[in-house]
């Protein structure tokens, strides 16, 4: 069973604070790492996909890094805004016998940004 751990489980910050979350995953059978943003009452929305060790992706104030050798990814949010409040999910994509599109989701980090 592939264990994906995200920390912290929840985070409460003030508007303007910068924050980061961690996703840890076993590095064997690794194919790609996906980050999703999930707002309450909506469906998960893709943020980033990273495949190579050392990958860094950026989208506005949000960026992510990937270390496939040690099995972790960081998500950073610079200058958090109330609209960033959501659950952030990471999901490594693993390869088992040719089926390479199986995402294993972590339980997420719930971010609440106070105005």
Partner 1 sequence: DSGVTQTPKHLITATGQRVTLRCSPRSGDLSVYWYQQSLDQGLQFLIQYYNGEERAKGNILERFSAQQFPDLHSELNLSSLELGDSALYFCASSSIRDRVGEQYFGPGTRLTVT
Q: Which is nearer to partner 1, 80 or 109 (CB)?
A: 109
In the complex, least distance from residue 17 CB atom to partner 1, rounded to whole angstroms? 26
Least distance in Å: CB of 52 to partner 1? 11
- Tell me whether strands 72-77 and 56-59 are parallel, antiparallel or unpaired: unpaired
Minimal distance, residue 107 CB to partner 1, in Å: 4
Query: Which pairing describes strands 10-14 and 45-50: parallel, antiparallel, or unpaired?
Result: unpaired
Cβ proximity to partner 1: between 16 and 96 the closer is: 96
The least CB distance from residue 9 to partner 1, in Å, is 11
- Whether the Cβ atoms of residue 72 and residue 90 lie closer than 8 Å to each other: no
Q: Residue 98 or residue 115: which is nearer to partner 1 going by CB?
A: 98
Q: Which is nearer to partner 1, 67 or 78 (CB)?
A: 67
Closest alpha carbon to 13 in 112, 103, 86: 112
> Does the CA dihedral 103-39-51-21 come out positive or negative?
negative
């Amino acid at each position: 069973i592939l264990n994906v751990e995200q920390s912290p489980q929840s985070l409460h910050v003030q508007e303007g604070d910068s924050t980061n979350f961690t996703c840890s995953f076993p590095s064997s059978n690794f194919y790609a790492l996906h980050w999703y943003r999930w707002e309450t009452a909506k469906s998960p929305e893709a943020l980033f996909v990273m495949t190579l060790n050392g990958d860094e992706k950026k989208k506005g104030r949000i960026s992510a890094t990937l270390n496939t050798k040690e099995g972790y990814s960081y998500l950073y949010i610079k200058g958090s805004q109330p609209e960033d409040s959501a659950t952030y999910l990471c999901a490594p994509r693993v390869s088992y016998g040719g089926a390479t599109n199986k995402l294993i989701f972590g339980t997420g980090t719930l971010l609440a940004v106070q105005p």
